[in-house]
A and B are shown apart, each in its own frame.
Chain A
Amino acid sequence: MNADRENELARMMHTYGSMLTGLCAGLLGDRYLAQDIVQETFLKAWKHFDTLRGGQPSEKAWLCRIAVNLCRDHQRTRWFRLVIPDETLMETIEAPQEDRSILEAVYALPARLREVVVLHYYQNMDATEMARVLGMTPSAVYRRLRQARGKLEHLLKGADDNE
């Protein structure tokens, strides 16, 4: 039984490890911090395996939800909300030059808007899947995505005007 559980965790790390690291790096702007969070995600998954077996509709959504909540924990600290200079984010994320202005705009979004952008545009999740991960209703997800698009449009327009 325990061997089964270990095999399951090994399979999950192999299948979802990279995806979750990309997701957390997208939310936090730091590759190494993302790896910390993913490590903790799998530890939490190990502890709560029964929850998954108890009828969670999708193990991917379940893992994403754990990871997103852990990222939120990290971001909730007041002192992390100091004015974080934009250019210090993404230092550990390699991005082609032509993508940098877009990524800078994504990282300039408030955390809750960045979540829906990364889940939708990077993870290709629809509103129902995002709702499951974020613990929100699909309509609230739409609302948040709409706000995020509006802010991104504004930020990118500003970037274009400056170029």
Chain B
Amino acid sequence: MNEDRLRSALKNSLSGMDFPAARQQEVWRIIKGEKTMKPKKLSIILACLLIVLTIGTALGAALGVFGRLSSREITGDSAGRLALLEQEAPKLETSVSLYAPASSAPPAQPQTVYDQLLARQYERSFDLTVNQAYCDGNKLYFSYTLTTDGRKVWTGEGMPSGISEWMMQQPGRRYAEVWSHSEPERDKAIIHWLDSHESSWYAYENCDLGDGVDLADGRYCDILDGTAQWLDENTLYGFREVQLPADMAETDAINMELSLMYSATLFYQDAQGVFCANIRPAENRGILRLPVSIPRTGITQSLSGSAIHETYTAQADVRVSPIDLSGTVTLTCPVEWTEAADHFKGDVDYLECYKLVADGHVQRNLDVSLHVLAPGQLQSTLRFDLPVDTRSLVLRPVYFLSGEHPAEDIPLQ
């Protein structure tokens, strides 16, 4: 890859962008408006974004969202961890009721399809239950169930009125050719309706949690894993696995903010192609934020190991929890290795990743990332399901060309 070309392509296309004066004036208009409307805004928040924290009984102890998702067909490599979480993660069953904020400028009687779909977004309500959560200070896992007040579906023939802007346009294509929905039954319904008419539209409502979490101190924690499935038309359940910052404070609870996204999606199809619009309130762009506090419930055990060889030295640092085993191996190695890793050279036999040997059984690494810290310094990521037997744990290097090197195993202690 020619990095100079990449750099110049991005600069050529993005450098000419401006932030127009009209947009700057809009910022000032909103700021000035906010100043005079502050008391009202507070009351809107209190009245409309009413968050009622209760100890929920809605879904009961038997739900087991982690357990339901712990199937290889649904969650692949994650299934083993989810089965452990079903057993290990304390049940919270904490429920939150959320209401979409009312419109800051209530419209008159909806005149168009767009008005109708938008008006409905101001009426929506949700119940979020955090079913189980496990937090050991290194990672946070939680399962959740999200119910809505009846996801509505709208259909119509001809061009939907009031849509001034399409989020996506695909001229000359049919829906079935270019879109693939996360709900297979939804896909079938959309295709059936759109293909049965020369010109028609199908709209429906969506909601789900955002991927990562924002900690109370403002730091964003990236998602490591997660999925969600609709149990029925109005009930979504899922889980998230989040990596917490390395310097996480030793507190009793993790205070964070989750994001709940909601909107209506509309597909229109005619002889010209297929078009998609996303309808959500301008006030919050269809995002509700809710503070959540998750108790710290688990601990990790630290293990380490090292190896000194003629070609390289390795230092392994691993954290073992009741859920998984993760960490890094830092290598001081020939510069040739870091160059090969950095530039994807296929003719250098460098140490590429580690497997785990637990009581004689070899386990695959679920994250084989290798990154260059500096010339002559590599770091290999480790992420394994928790072995059945953790009494004897050994890391076995795998080379890019020659494969496993058992003679260079690193025992962990």
Instruction: Answer whether residue B125 sits at the interface, using C-beta atoms and an 8 A cutoff.
Output: no
A146 and B341 form a contact (CB under 8 A): yes
Partner pick for A147 among B206, B219, B278, B369, CB 8 A cutoff? B369
In the complex, the answer to whether B24 meets A88 with C-beta atoms within 8 Å is no
Question: Would A143 and B12 count as touching, CB distance under 8 A?
Answer: no
Chain A residues whose C-beta falls within 8 Å of the C-beta of B5 in the assembled complex: 102
Interface SS, A side: helix
Q: Which residue of A lies closest to B208 (CB)?
A: A78
Contact of A122 among B10, B168, B210, B344 (CB under 8 A): B10
Q: Is the CB of A99 within 8 A of B208?
A: no
Interface string of A104-119 (1 = CB under 8 A from B): 0010000010000110
Name the interface residues of B326-342: CB closer than 8 Å to any CB of A.
341-342
A94 part of interface (Cβ distance < 8 Å): yes
User: In whole angstroms, what is the CA distance A1 to B263 when docked?
Assistant: 40
Q: Given A102-B9, A139-B379, does the pair A20, B1 have CB atoms closer than 8 Å?
A: no
| Residues from chain A with Cβ under 8 Å of B182 in the complex | 78-79, 81-82
CB-defined contacts of B381 to chain A, threshold 8 Å: 143
B27 and A73 contact, CB distance less than 8 A: no
Indicate if A57 sits at the interface (CB-CB under 8 A): no
Which of A35, A77, A122 makes the CB contact (< 8 A) with B23?
Answer: A35
Contact status A79-B278, CB under 8 Å:
yes
Assembled-state Cα–Cα distance A77/B279 (Å): 13
* A20 and B27 alpha carbons, distance in the complex (Å): 15
How far does the Cβ of B321 sit from chain A's closest Cβ, in whole Å?
20
Q: Is there an interface contact between A38 and B1, defined as CB atoms closer than 8 Å?
A: no
Chain B residues with Cβ below 8 Å from A43 are 27, 30-31
**Binary per-residue interface labels of chain A (55-92) against chain B in the complex, 1 for a CB within 8 Å, 0 otherwise:** 00000000000000100111011111111110110110
Interface readout for B161-197 with A: 1 if CB under 8 Å, 0 if not? 0000000111001000011111000000000000000
- Tell me whether A77 and B261 are in contact (CB under 8 A): yes
Contact: A38 with B218, CB < 8 Å? no
| B interface, over-half SS | mixed
Mark each residue of chain B from 364 to 391: 1 if its CB lies under 8 Å from any CB of chain A, else 0: 0000011111000001010000000000
Among residues of B, the one whose C-beta sits closest to the C-beta of A22 is B14
B211 touches A88 (CB 8 A): no
Name the distance in Å between B314's Cβ and chain A's nearest Cβ.
Answer: 16
B252 at the interface (CB under 8 A from A): no
Interface string of B42-67 (1 = CB under 8 A from A): 00000000000000000000000000
Q: Of all chain B residues, which has the CB nearest A122? A: B10
Q: Which of B7, B27, B219, B342 contacts A13 (CB 8 A)?
A: B27
Within 8 A of A (CB), among B195-225: 206, 208, 210-212, 214, 218-222
Query: Do the beta carbons of A76 and B211 come within 8 Å of each other?
Result: yes
A18 within 8 A of B: yes
Whether a CB of chain A sits under 8 angstroms from the CB of B148 is no
Interface set, chain B 19-52, CB cutoff 8 A to A = 19-20, 23-24, 26-27, 30-31
Residues of A contacting B31 in the complex (Cβ-Cβ under 8 angstroms): 9, 43, 46
How many angstroms from the CA of A23 to the CA of B385 in the assembled complex?
38
Inter-chain CA distance A140–B220, complex, in Å, is: 14
CB contacts under 8 Å to B, within A107-163, are 112, 117-118, 121-122, 135-137, 139-140, 142-143, 146-147, 149-150, 152-153, 156
Docked Cα-Cα span, A140 to B208, in Å, equals: 27
CB distance from A134 to the nearest CB of B (A): 8
Chain B residues contacting A39 (CB-CB under 8 Å) are 19, 23, 26-27
Please tell me if B361 contacts chain A, counting CB pairs below 8 Å. no
Is B16 an interface position by the 8 A CB rule? yes
- Name A77's contact: one of B6, B170, B180, B206 (CB within 8 Å): B206
* Pair B9/A139 contact, Cβ less than 8 Å: no
Contacts of A94 in B (CB 8 A): 13, 16
What's the least CB distance linking B189 to chain A, in Å?
15
Given contacts A73-B210, A153-B1, 10 further A-B contacts (CB under 8 A): A26-B14, A46-B27, A69-B220, A76-B261, A84-B168, A88-B168, A91-B169, A106-B6, A112-B222, A149-B344
18 contacts between A and B (CB under 8 A): A17-B23, A39-B23, A42-B27, A43-B31, A46-B31, A73-B285, A77-B206, A79-B182, A83-B178, A88-B168, A95-B13, A106-B10, A117-B6, A122-B10, A137-B246, A142-B373, A143-B381, A150-B344
